[in-house]
Amino acid sequence: MIARRIAGYIVLTSAALIFLYPLLWMALLSFKPQDEAGTFVAWSGHFTFANYVAVLHAIPITRALANSLFVASATTLSVVVFSALTGYALARLQFAGRNVIFAIVLATMALPFQLTLIPLYELIVKFGWTDTYLALIAPNAISALGVLIFRQTFLSIPKELIEAARMEGASEVQILTRIFLPISLPAVVTAGILTFMNSWNDVLWPIIVIRKQEMMTLPQLVVAFSAGGQADGLPGQQFAAAMFVVAPILVAYLLFQRYFIASMASSGIKG
């Protein structure tokens, strides 16, 4: 038993090192002078902000930060609002076509994005939406997973609650916003975290619909800067740029760790 527990600690400690050390290395390297890159030990005697200053001069990274914050927030708000509406209709309203809509929700969950990527781009071009926020937000404005999460949660709320509220003359919108949403905060948090994180971290879709530098999202700009040749052979600057992407989500993760882990775990089980 003791031997087993020691083996357990060895596995866990080495795994923790493997998962965390590269990230620490990246963070510290972003503060190191260029000529000190390329060592296993990340510590340095002379930490500097030089890489950050260079990045701020080279690319509009604060603009990209604002773009990403806006796009991720707007997408998250939209997903929560519309998924809650649809989820409520599917869970607690009787209407013709309800089962058909639910079947569509389930079917679209399994739809691979490769199938629609090219036509979706063509649609954005047709709408004249390239290089706009709309191109980034609209195609992600509702998620099938979000609808499912809300439907499941709302199904667990007793019917009597709605009937009582309807008796009092409450409209369906009032029932949803005053009664259902406040007691479904975990669902809001789950859908919110998943959507915000996916939007914040996504690069493929921005690369396809955004070309203008000042409209780029943060990870997209960082990729364009680092892989586009501008920061070739300058890992310190690449990592400084990357830290702009990592720091906000990492802070959010450290603050709301339990919710992050629970949300991701549930997404896999439902997906």
Partner 1 sequence: MRVRGTNVGLLFSLPYLVFIALFIVYPVGFALYLVFVRWDLIAAPQYVGLGNLRYLLSDAEFWQALLNTLIFLCVNVPLQIVAALLIAIALAQPIALRGFFRAAFFVPVVISVAVVSLLWQQVYNTDTGLLNTLIRAIGLPAVPWLTNPHVAMPAIAGMVAWKNVGLYVLFFLSGILSVPAQLYEAAKLEGASPWDEFWLVTVPLVRPAMFLVVVLSTIAGFNLFIEPYVMTGGGPLDSTLSVVLYMYKHAFSFLDMGYAATIGVALAAIMLVVVTIERRLIDEPTV
- Min CB(64)–partner 1 separation in Å: 12
H/E stretch holding 206? helix 204-209
Cβ proximity to partner 1: between 54 and 123 the closer is 123
Task: Decide whether 47 or 113 has the Cβ nearer to partner 1.
Answer: 113
Residues in contact with 171: Cβ distance below 8 Å, sequence separation at least 6, in sequence order: none
Note the Cα 44 to chain centre separation in Å.
33
Q: How far is the CB of 183 from partner 1 (least distance, A)?
A: 18
Q: In angstroms, give the least distance from the CB of 181 to partner 1.
A: 13
We find the least distance from the C-beta atom of residue 23 to partner 1, in angstroms, to be 6
Name the minimum Å distance from CB 156 to partner 1: 19
The structure tokens listed for 181 are: 């949403």
In the complex, least distance from residue 133 CB atom to partner 1, rounded to whole angstroms: 16
Amino acid identity for residue 10 in this structure = I
Residues 184 and 153: their CA atoms lie apart, in Å, by 7
Q: Closest by alpha carbon to 28, among 254, 225, 200, 235?
A: 235
33 neighbors 222 (Cβ within 8 angstroms)? no
Q: Which is nearer to partner 1, 53 or 107 (CB)?
A: 107
Cα dihedral value 175, 178, 183, 184, nearest 10: 70
- Would residue 97 be called left, alpha or beta, if left means φ above 0 and alpha means ψ between -120 and 50 degrees? left
Which of residues 116 and 156 has its CB atom nearest to partner 1 in the complex?
A: 116
Task: List the helix and strand counts (H, then E) for the chain.
Answer: 15, 0
10 Å CB burial of residue 149 (0-12, 13-18, 19+) is: buried
Query: Quick one: 50 or 172, whose CB is closer to partner 1?
Result: 172
Given the complex with partner 1, which of 89 and 188 has the nearer CB atom?
89
Least gap, CB of 49 to partner 1 (angstroms): 20
